[in-house]
Amino acid sequence: MNTSKRLKSLLIKAGLKPDEASLYLFVSENPGCSIADVYKRVGISKSSAYRAFESLRSLDLLNTDAEAWKTNLSAISLTGLIRKLEGQQRNRQRLISDLKTFNNVSRIAGNSKISGIESLEGEAVYQKYLDLSQMAFDTDLVYGNWEPFNNRGSLVSLEKNFINNRVKNGGNCLLVLTGDGPNTKEITDYDCDENRITKFRKPNYDKKPVWINAFEGNNFVYIWNLDDTGNINATFIDSKPVSEFYKEFIYSQSA
CA 152 to chain centre: 33
Name residues whose C-beta falls within 8 Å of residue 38's C-beta, 6 or more positions apart in sequence: 23, 26, 27, 44, 49, 53, 73
**Structural domain contains residue 97:** yes
Do 230 and 111 belong together in one domain?
yes
Number of domains the chain is built from: 2
Domain finish residue from 23, 44, 77: 77
**Structural domain contains residue 84:** no
Do 133 and 21 belong together in one domain?
no
Residue 135 and residue 100 in contact, taking contact as beta carbons nearer than 8 Å: no
Residue 148: asked if its preceding bond is cis (omega within 30°), the reply is: no
Q: What integer pLDDT is reported at residue 141 of this predicted model?
A: 93
Do 101 and 215 belong together in one domain?
yes
Q: What integer pLDDT is reported at residue 73 of this predicted model?
A: 84
Q: What integer pLDDT is reported at residue 66 of this predicted model?
A: 60
Angle at Cα 77 formed by Cα 22 and Cα 82, nearest 5°?
85
- 109/215: higher pLDDT: 215
CA–CA separation, 147 and 182 (whole Å): 8
- Helices vs strands, H then E, count in the chain: 10, 9
Q: Tell whether pTM > 0.75.
A: no
Candidates 84, 113, 104; CA nearest to 218 is 104
Do 25 and 68 belong together in one domain?
yes
Checking if the pLDDT of 219 tops 60, the result is yes
Checking if the pLDDT of 245 tops 50, the result is yes
- 185/68: higher pLDDT: 185
Query: Percentage of residues in the chain with pLDDT exceeding 70?
Result: 84
Do 105 and 164 belong together in one domain?
yes
Q: What's the mean pLDDT when you consider all of the chain?
A: 82
Provide the CATH number for the domain around residue 241: 3.30.870.10
Do 234 and 191 belong together in one domain?
yes
Name residues whose C-beta falls within 8 Å of residue 20's C-beta, 6 or more positions apart in sequence: 11, 52, 55, 56
**Structural domain contains residue 154:** yes
Which residues on neighbouring strands pair with residue 93, listed in sequence order? none
**One-letter-per-residue 3-state SS of 30-48:** CCCECHHHHHHHCCCCHHH
The pLDDT confidence band at residue 209, using thresholds 50, 70 and 90, is low
Domain finish residue from 55, 77, 99: 77
Q: What integer pLDDT is reported at residue 113 of this predicted model?
A: 45
In this prediction, residues 156-165 reach a mean pLDDT of: 85
| Domain carrying residue 131 | 91-254
Do 113 and 59 belong together in one domain?
no
Q: What integer pLDDT is reported at residue 112 of this predicted model?
A: 44
For 27-38, b where at least 16 C-beta lie within 10 A, e where not — what string?
bbebeebbbebb
Name residues whose C-beta falls within 8 Å of residue 32's C-beta, 6 or more positions apart in sequence: 72, 73, 74
Do 19 and 55 belong together in one domain?
yes
Q: What integer pLDDT is reported at residue 111 of this predicted model?
A: 47
Name residues whose C-beta falls within 8 Å of residue 55's C-beta, 6 or more positions apart in sequence: 16, 17, 20
For 159-190, b where at least 16 C-beta lie within 10 A, e where not — what string?
beebbebbeebebbbbbbbbbeeebbeebeee
In this prediction, residues 15-44 reach a mean pLDDT of: 88
Checking if the pLDDT of 255 tops 90, the result is no
pLDDT tens for 131-151 read: 898 888 889 999 998 888 887
Do 68 and 120 belong together in one domain?
no
In this prediction, residues 248-254 reach a mean pLDDT of: 88
**Structural domain contains residue 63:** yes
pLDDT tens for 175-203 read: 998 888 888 888 887 767 778 888 888 76
CB-side neighbour CA atoms (13 Å) of 226: 16
**Structural domain contains residue 22:** yes
